């Protein structure tokens, strides 16, 4: 008869940390999206450019993105390899979105890029160490 071993590896703490931060980031996207739904500004002026925005559409994009990030956090918390892959793809998309909004919101975009990098590291690197050992 086969027995199930209930051993916890060291990388489960990193994944728990990453899923918590993803959940946190997803809630911030939803809150930012709801706040954007109330705005009716059509442009943002940076130091050298003028960017045309419809904040209502941008708000819905943020709400939907937040829901996707929250679902990635939940799937990552379950601990399956699919959850790690899904969360990694979502994080790369978030990083690309932050790079595109860098001229408009430089400080916020840099903070999100740093946070996404930390989360991506905590998902990928400890799992690779587990597989190699």
Sequential DSSP letters for 51-116: EE--HHHHHHHHHHHHHHHHHHHHHHHTT-HHHHHHHHHHHHHHHHHHHHTTTTSHHHHHHHHHHH
Q: How far apart are CA 123 and CA 125, in angstroms?
A: 6
Confidence (pLDDT) at 67: 93
Express each pLDDT in 27-61 by its tens digit: 888 888 888 787 766 556 666 665 666 777 878 88
User: How many residues appear in the chain?
Assistant: 133
Query: Residues of the chain whose pLDDT is less than 50?
Result: 130-133
Report the pLDDT value the prediction gives residue 89, as an integer from 0 to 100.
93
What is residue 132's predicted lDDT score, i.e. its pLDDT?
47
Nearest to 41 by CA among 104, 129, 108, 120: 104
C-alpha distance from residue 70 to each of 25, 75, 86, 91 (Å):
8, 9, 11, 12
**Tokens linked to 111:** 């903070």
pTM, rounded to two decimals? 0.73
| pLDDT of res. 4 | 55
| CA-based nearest residue to 32, from 74, 67, 73, 72 | 67
What is the pLDDT, as a whole number, of residue 88?
92
What per-residue confidence (pLDDT) applies to 99? 86
Classified as helix, coil or strand, 2 is coil
């Amino acid at each position: 008869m086969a027995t199930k071993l209930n051993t916890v590896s060291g990388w489960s703490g990193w994944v728990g940390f990453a899923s918590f931060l993803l959940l946190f980031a997803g809630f911030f996207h939803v809150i930012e999206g709801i706040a954007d739904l109330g705005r009716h500004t059509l442009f943002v002026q940076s130091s050298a450019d003028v960017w045309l925005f419809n904040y209502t559409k941008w708000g819905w994009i943020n709400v939907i993105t937040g829901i996707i990030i929250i679902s990635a956090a939940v799937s990552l918390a379950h601990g399956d390899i699919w959850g790690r892959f899904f969360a990694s793809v979502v994080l790369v998309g978030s990083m690309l979105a932050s790079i595109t909004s860098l001229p408009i919101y430089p400080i916020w975009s840099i903070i999100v890029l740093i946070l996404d990098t930390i989360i991506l590291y905590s998902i990928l690197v400890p799992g690779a160490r587990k597989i190699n050992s």
